[in-house]
Amino acid sequence: MLEQWFPNVDWEKMWEATNETLYMTGVSVLATFILGILLGLLLFLTAKGNIWENKAMYSIVSAFVNIFRSIPFIILIVLLIPFTKALVGTMIGENAALPALIIGAAPFYARMVEIGLREIDKGVIEAARAMGAKTSTIIFKVLLPESMPALISGITVTAIALVGYTAMAGVIGAGGLGNLAYLDGFQRSRSDVTLVATVVILIIVFVIQMIGDLITNRLDKR
């Protein structure tokens, strides 16, 4: 029956492309999570009235984040070609997409982290200081756990955006479902291939959203 409805779909290829998309999304989400939290913490802690208040530092990080957040992803990939070539050695394949994916998403996520951290009651941080907590204790035992639901729902949104980015990266040459839909589907006028690739992407997005919501709800004890 599948043969009938989708005559041009090569299921093995589709499966391979799905794995490539999952790989690109997975690695970039993980890297974005870590990098974004680091940048977000830096933004939060160096902001006015905070533990590491430092105007120069805050302005620099903030400008960096704003610039990379504003560049459209498709342009970012092109801009990063020399950097990617130096780092990965090629512009083809899933790994070639990673630098652009991470550099595009981490600043975006860093802002969400900053907002999440700002929502923590100042009094709680002060209580920890009054107990004699070190800055590292405050970061790992107060800031991160208290903002975890916001961090998770933020990374969910970012992950979904990243799935979209991988598809765009696919058009340029990195593998995955986007690549398949564009080369095999669009360019060869096989709309069934495009359709199936789209449906698979939708499923991935739904699953990410579901997992994200589940974890957020579990963590949120407010």
Partner 1 sequence: MISIENVKKVFSTKNGKVTAVDDIDLTIDKGEIFGIIGYSGAGKSTLIRMFNGLETPSSGSVVVAGREMSKIKGRELRQARQEIGMIFQHFNLLWSRTVRDNIAFPLEIAGVAKEERLKKVEELIKLVGLEGRGDSYPSQLSGGQKQRVGIARALANDPKVLLCDEATSALDPQTTDAILDLLVDINKRLGLTIVLITHEMHVIRKICHRVAVMEAGRVVELGPVLSVFKSPEQPITKRFVQQVTELEESKETIGHLLEQFPESKVVKLTFIGESAEQPVITNLIRQFNIAVNIVQGKVSQTQNGAYGSLFVHLTGEQEELAKAVAYLDKQEVSSEVISHA
Cα 37 to Cα 7, 114, 121, 150, 168, distances in angstroms? 46, 8, 19, 12, 25
Quickly list DSSP for 35-92: HHHHHHHHHHHHSTTSTT--HHHHHHHHHHHHHHHHS-HHHHHHHTHHHHHHHHS-SS
127 binds partner 1 (CB under 8 A): yes
Instruction: Identify the residue whose tokens are 């990617």.
Output: 84
131 binds partner 1 (CB under 8 A): yes
Query: Contacting partner 1 (CB under 8 A), which of 51, 71, 139, 219?
Result: 219
Stretch that binds partner 1, among 8-16, 128-136, 151-159, 174-182 (CB under 8 A): 128-136
Residue 20 in tokens: 């490539």
190 binds partner 1 (CB under 8 A): no
- Which CB sits closer to partner 1, 148 or 161? 148
Short-list 135, 177, 189, CA closest to 23: 177
Residue 62 CB, nearest approach to partner 1 (Å) = 22
- Residue 171 CA to residue 73 CA, distance in Å, equals 12
Query: Contacting partner 1 (CB under 8 A), which of 148, 183, 195, 205?
Result: 148
Stretch that binds partner 1, among 22-30, 97-105, 121-129, 186-194 (CB under 8 A): 121-129
- Which CB sits closer to partner 1, 149 or 175? 149
142 binds partner 1 (CB under 8 A): yes
Handedness of CA 107, 109, 112, 113 (dihedral sign): negative
129 binds partner 1 (CB under 8 A): yes
55 binds partner 1 (CB under 8 A): no
150 binds partner 1 (CB under 8 A): no
Helix or strand (DSSP H, E) at 208: helix 191-219
Residue ranges binding partner 1 (CB under 8 A): 121, 123-124, 126-134, 137, 141-142, 145-146, 148, 219, 221-222
